[in-house]
Amino acid sequence: MNVHLKPAGEAERDRLVSLHSLSLMDTRDSERLFVKSPQGTVRTEMDRKDTFCAATIAQPDILMVPDATADPRFAALPDVVGGRRVRFYAGRPLSVDAGSRVGTLCLFDTQPRHLSEDQLRQLDELGSWAERELQDSGGRDRARAVEQALLPSTLPGAPHYEVSAICLPRGDVGEDFYSWSESEGIVDLILADVMGKGTAAALMAATVRSAVRSAGGNRPAAVLDRASELLAQDLESTATFATAFLARLELATGRLEYADAGHGLSIIVAADGSYRRLHGHGLPLGIGEPGSWHTEHAVLAPGETLASFTDGLLDLYDGTLAALDDVAALIRHCNPAGITTLLQDLHRGTQPDDDVTAIFLTRLHASA
Catalogue the E-assigned strands of the chain: 19-25, 32-38, 45-47, 63-65, 88-97, 100-109, 161-168, 176-183, 186-194, 242-250, 255-261, 266-269, 275-277, 296-299, 305-309, 356-363
Residue 299: count of CB within 10 angstroms of its CB: 13
Residue 288: what are its φ and ψ, rounded to 5°? -70, 155
CA distance 118 to 332: 67
3-state secondary structure of 201: helix
| Domains, in order of start, for the chain | 10-145 (3.30.450.40), 152-363 (3.60.40.10)
> What pTM value is reported for the model?
0.61
CA distance 149 to 10: 59
Digit-by-digit pLDDT tens for the chain (368 residues) are 333 333 444 333 333 333 445 554 443 445 656 665 555 555 556 677 778 888 888 888 999 999 999 999 999 998 899 877 899 999 998 887 665 777 888 888 889 999 999 999 888 888 888 777 766 655 555 545 554 555 555 556 667 888 888 888 776 556 788 888 888 888 889 898 888 776 777 777 778 888 888 787 779 999 999 999 988 888 888 888 888 999 999 999 999 999 999 999 999 999 999 999 998 778 998 898 888 999 999 999 999 999 999 888 898 888 899 999 999 999 998 888 888 888 888 887 777 677 888 999 999 876 54
